[in-house]
């Protein structure tokens, strides 16, 4: 099949580029980078457009869509004169983000990056696991995440696993802290579970900035029902600012 042949050829080219990137003495770096950039710029079927997972899909419940529409409407407001201007909230795009650099500094194509996946965005079936969107309010120093838990996140029968809740708290508060303090890592996460979350339900995860001390950023987080009547989980999180080069191995 021609497509299978093209795919095998493409893989061989990619493998060759990785070998070039790991052999600094044989070829100058500009040559290696230019080859990989050429592959990145190749047209379909070798182009991979990133998908924003914070956009609505068919699995979202009516309640999740209602809240999404509400906060999204606060991202842009209309003045008395009828002009549009930025509102207090900002929707944060969410991608299946991955490694971008290999040892030797060669930029990796989207195809190679796809082998390294942010695991909350790694489930292909819509609605099966983590469905969420995060909105940031810089003035109030807080974020709101609309979260819908799928059937793959089951812990106690019919309810969300505590580890999945911890994952979402870490992700939401970490996203919030990163917008305040730049690159960082979770140093401490303390969670109090108050009441279980039914699978398939929609909840709100809200984070607020407590304080900053040097490299330390302190965030409070809570998980509630969408009407705020039930508290599911509370947490305190400490993040430490880091040098991002440590993660990239450069």
Which residues form the catalytic set?
Answer: 170
Could you identify the residue written with the tokens 């890592």?
185
Q: For residue 141, give every residue at least 6 positions away whose Cβ sits within 8 Å of its Cβ, in sequence order, or none.
A: 180, 208, 209
Cβ atoms of 202 and 184 within 8 Å: the answer is no
Cα dihedral sign, 66-70-73-75: negative
Strand-pairing partners, residue 134, are 92, 145
Rounded CA separation 160/162 (Å):
6
Q: What is the Cα Rg of the chain in Å? A: 21
- Backbone torsions φ then ψ of 137, nearest 5 degrees: -120, 100
């Amino acid at each position: 099949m021609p497509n299978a042949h093209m795919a095998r050829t493409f893989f061989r080219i990619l493998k060759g580029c990785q070998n070039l990137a790991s052999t600094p003495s044989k070829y100058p770096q500009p040559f290696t980078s230019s080859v990989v950039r050429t592959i990145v710029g190749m047209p379909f079927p070798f182009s991979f457009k990133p998908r924003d997972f914070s956009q609505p899909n068919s699995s979202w419940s009516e309640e999740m869509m209602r809240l999404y529409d509400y906060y999204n409407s606060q991202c842009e407001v209309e003045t008395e004169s009828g002009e549009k201007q930025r509102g207090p909230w900002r929707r944060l795009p969410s991608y299946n983000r991955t490694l971008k650099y290999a040892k030797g500094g060669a930029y990796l194509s989207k195809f190679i990056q796809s082998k390294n996946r942010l695991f909350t965005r790694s489930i292909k079936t819509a609605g099966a696991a983590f469905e969420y969107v995060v909105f940031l309010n810089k003035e109030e120093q807080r974020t709101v995440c609309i979260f819908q838990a799928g059937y793959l996140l089951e812990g106690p029968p019919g309810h969300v696993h505590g580890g999945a809740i911890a994952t979402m708290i870490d992700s939401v508060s970490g996203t919030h802290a990163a917008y305040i303090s730049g690159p960082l890592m979770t140093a401490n996460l303390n969670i109090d579970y108050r009441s279980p979350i039914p699978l398939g339900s929609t909840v709100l995860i809200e984070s607020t900035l407590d304080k900053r001390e040097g490299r330390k950023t302190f965030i409070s987080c809570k998980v509630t029902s969408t009407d705020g009547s039930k508290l599911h989980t509370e947490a305190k999180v400490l993040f430490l600012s880091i040098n991002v080069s440590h993660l990239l191995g450069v």
